[in-house]
Amino acid sequence: MGWLEGQVALVTGGASGLGRAIVERFLAEGARVAILDRAHDAIERLQEDLRGQRDRLLTFEGDVTNFEDNHRAVAVTAREWGKLDCFVGNAGIWDFSTSLAALPADGAKLGAAFDEVFGVNVKGCLFGARAAMTALARSRGNIIFTVSNAGFYPDGGGPLYTASKHAVVGLVRQLAYELAPKVRVNGVAPGPIPTDLRGPQALGMGERSIASLPLEEFVRRAMPLGRVPAAADYTGAYVLLASAGNSGTTTGAVINCDGGMGVRGFMRTAGGEKL
């Protein structure tokens, strides 16, 4: 029996990348899983690949920055399966480490980039939590937000992305306080993942994927564990936090599973050897 046997979860951005890995792991742990994603083609691929589990999978095509899309996904999931135990706010976009100096020196363009990054990364979490809170309170359920190493440390993105992920940490703590004792709220902060994570359209990065970057080089420089994790490597933290039987006393916490980036310090000498 899995850790999430009989549970019902809703995962945003669940059709690809880390979100899909979470969906697959939750299914393997015995949960029924709904996804909300705006990528039509990715949803179709997921449905085809998981066609043997269609009785435990619901899919909704929609935008996390639209409250009605969040509300519809929650309402239909709760109606179809009788409850909702876990909401995973995972949908996100990255700014490809665009520095302040490289951002547009134009208020309208810069504002559009800000609104897009914060819209998906922060408003999407807020909208999803607001849509799900009543159903979660009924089930004594939980919320999990995907944070990032950039929610704690610099150089995991540019100022837009880093600020947005710091804001998600703030949401974890504030909502954990407000929704206790009925709903636990936590986060998971992964490190780099070679997925199809895209950038903001406002910066011309809507078709650019993080998987196109030389992540191996970054990992050798920045991560003490020294390897590029697969998306599935991060899913255990989500399972732990979703399981009331294994993390029932945990709320307002963020699990850092970033390969040790927060403790890297001065890893190597000028000659390249470890101290």
- Give the active site residues: 161
Side chain identity at residue 9, one-letter code: A
Structure letter (DSSP) for residue 211: G
Residue 4: strand, helix, or coil: coil
Side chain identity at residue 199, one-letter code: G
- Cα–Cα distance for residue pair 2/56, rounded to 1 Å: 14
Q: Maximum distance among all alpha carbons in the chain? A: 61
Instruction: Judge residue 50's burial from the number of C-beta atoms within 10 Å of its C-beta, 0-12 exposed, 13-18 middle, 19 or more buried.
Output: middle
> If you compute the radius of gyration of the chain from its CA atoms, what whole number of angstroms results?
18
E strand spans, the chain: 8-12, 32-37, 57-61, 86-89, 142-146, 184-190, 254-257
Residues 6+ apart with CB under 8 A from 64: 12, 13, 36, 38, 70, 89, 91, 120, 123, 124, 125, 127, 128
Contact 190, 149 (CB under 8 A): yes
Residues 6+ apart with CB under 8 A from 241: 142, 144, 184, 186, 188, 247, 250, 253, 255
